[in-house]
Amino acid sequence: MKYIFVTGGVISSLGKGLTAASLGTLLENRGLKVSLQKFDPYLNVDPGTMSPFQHGEVYVLDDGAETDLDLGHYERFTNVQLTRLNNLTSGQVYQTVLNNEREGKYLGKTVQVIPHVTDEIKKRMHVLGEKSGADVIITEIGGTTGDIEGLPFLEAIREFALEVGPTNAIFVHVTFVPFIKAAGELKSKPTQQSVAKLREIGIAPHIVVCRCEKPLGKEVREKISLFCNVPFEAVVEEKDVDHTIYEVPLMLQRERVDDLVCNLLRLDTPPAKMAHWQEIVRKLIAPQHRVRIGVVGKYIELQDAYKSVYEAISHGGIANDCGVEIQRVDAEDIERDGAEKHLKGLGGILVPGGFGERGIEGKIAAARYARENLVPYLGLCLGMQIATIEFARNVLKLAKAHSTEFDPNTPHPVIAMLDSQTKVTNKGGTMRLGAQPCQLAVGTKTAQLYGAFVIKERHRHRYEFNNAYRELFQKADFGFSGQTPDGRLVEIIELANHPFFIASQFHPEFRSKPHLPHPLFTGFIAAAHAHTHQKPV
């Protein structure tokens, strides 16, 4: 088994995750089985308890693990099936070590960062190695070289690489080469210093990937090669992409990173077949059609809060050869100005997941606008609950209908917590989480889009459609197109008298890939395109 460790230097937000994922794309398309893993140095056991302001989106896996959003890149860029083993935090490591200590597993010894914490990290790597059966495991170390909290992980990968031998593990350092306007030059010093910092702790990178705004040029490459002690061809340029993140694998292929990696790791494979990927990028850069989609949320100003949603929308665009311009609409702006002002002229309206009361009335107004004006609507998790509340209030005339999350005393709790959830007191990892089966109803638009009757989708929520109201809704043409196989929970709703009004209690966005766009997003964008051009769906 071969290992690639990806570290980051100089600054955060360099796109290490994208680089690791893109490497995964290339290796997979060379016929290798890859797996990707992320180490997060923070002390939270998982990011599930963090606000999107802290952390961006929480990405949910099939097995219910709440993980770092980089795992979303990993799954979108490859075909790997990730599990909770693929995201390790310091919190998890310390929790295990401390439990071991209490159980007496280190009896007689002083428990220390080296070797107890580092051994636990290495153990987790071996477990992933065995379980994944991959040829290559790409491990991204979160944070930036020089961070105190990242040190145990760096020490662990140093030891690990030594143990598995030089042709079985390599280090890729992603760094920043800033362009200084006043000098009109790219500067390599920060890169030199961050590599020096790594070498201080015994890690000598084999490849230095340079994030930059302008091409590196021969001179800068030579300088980095000399000072960072890597061959000239191992200084890789990763310039800001012009159009889409899906260009990154193609860019790295042009820089021959995958050849380099395969040589270093003695992997004998044919070149990566990337024709399908080029076609994906072509559709994103020069699509045949265009459409505008409004995403109504409360973390609109944050780039990362709805990451998978934005990506899945663009995948729906790929499936329809349709460029999608996403208009981010702050739900509170709708509360202030009314829906029309912010939503008029859009091809489709999407309300994503969310927690907490802020902006709820704005989202309800958005759903109402979509329903009444026959604008395609896709609701995701909270977006489904919102659509339900809106319908109850404005069609069923249950004026004060609400979710008990926002109004515990509502006379019409159309969305409410399951009994099993009301007893939960711990916050971490206790929602309804992960992939669960869903049965689709014959003759519905949803089943037609999926082309199947049993599907599996990922969940992350506590509240559900309240079954006491099912009949009332059904009579008013509010259809239940998906339910749990035992029929007890509503999973998908759709409106019969509307060109496209579908909302799911689960998160389809976590299952969409550029090469496998999710059917709900494909259908949504097709409907949005038809709406824009006033064609029948």
Stretch that binds ligand GLN, among 68-76, 305-313, 315-323, 348-356 (CB under 6 A): 348-356
Interaction between residue 76 and ligand GLN (CB under 6 A): no
Considering the complex, state which of residue 260 and residue 387 has its C-beta at the smaller distance from ligand GLN: 387
Three-state DSSP class for residue 107 = coil
Residues 174-213 that bind ligand GLN (CB under 6 A): none
Write down the least CB distance from residue 405 to ligand GLN, Å. 5
Question: Residue 164 has which token pair?
Answer: 């598995």
Q: Single out the segment in contact with ligand GLN by CB under 6 A; choices: 164-172, 188-196, 294-302, 352-360.
A: 352-360
Burial call 408-425: b when 16+ CB within 10 Å, e when fewer: eebebbbbbbeeeeeeee
The residues annotated as belonging to the active site are 381, 507, 509
Alpha carbon of residue 49 to chain centroid: 16
- Judged by CB, which is closer to ligand GLN: 354, or 479? 354
- What does R_g of the chain's alpha carbons equal in angstroms? 25
CA-nearest of 59, 67, 131, 139 to 511 is: 59
| 355 binds ligand GLN per the rule CB under 6 A | yes
Q: Are 291 and 324 in contact (CB under 8 A)?
A: yes
Minimum CB distance to ligand GLN, residue 2 (Å): 37
Residue at token pair 């994944």 = 132
Q: Is 106 or 406 the residue whose CB approaches ligand GLN more closely?
A: 406
- Could you say which of 462, 470, 513, 515 contacts ligand GLN (CB under 6 A)? 462
Under the criterion CB under 6 A, does residue 354 sit at the interface with ligand GLN? yes
Closer residue to ligand GLN (CB): 73 or 363: 363
The side-by-side arrangement of strands in the sheet containing 478-483 is 322-330, 289-297, 348-351, 377-380, 501-504, 490-495, 478-483, 432-440, 454-461
Q: Output DSSP code: residue 455.
A: E
- Binding residue for ligand GLN, selected from 64, 129, 205, 353, defined by CB under 6 A: 353
Interface positions, 391-410, toward ligand GLN (CB under 6 A): 405
Q: How far is C-alpha 321 from the chain's CA centre?
A: 23
Task: Count the residues of the shown chain that bind ligand GLN, applying the rule CB under 6 A.
Answer: 10
Name the closest residue to ligand GLN (Cβ). Answer: 353
Please, which of residues 368-387 interact with ligand GLN by CB under 6 A? 381-382
**Per CB under 6 A, does 463 bind ligand GLN?**
yes
Candidates 11-19, 202-210, 456-464, 491-499 — which segment interacts with ligand GLN by CB under 6 A? 456-464
Length of the chain: 537
> Is 457 an interacting residue with respect to ligand GLN (CB under 6 A)?
no
Q: Cα 237 to chain center, whole Å?
A: 25
Strand 377-380 and strand 185-186: pairing?
Answer: unpaired
Name the minimum Å distance from CB 247 to ligand GLN: 31
DSSP string for 267-280: ---PPP--HHHHHH
The footprint of ligand GLN on residues 132-171 (CB under 6 A) is none
Question: Which residues sit at the interface with ligand GLN, rule CB under 6 A?
Answer: 353-355, 381-382, 405, 460-463
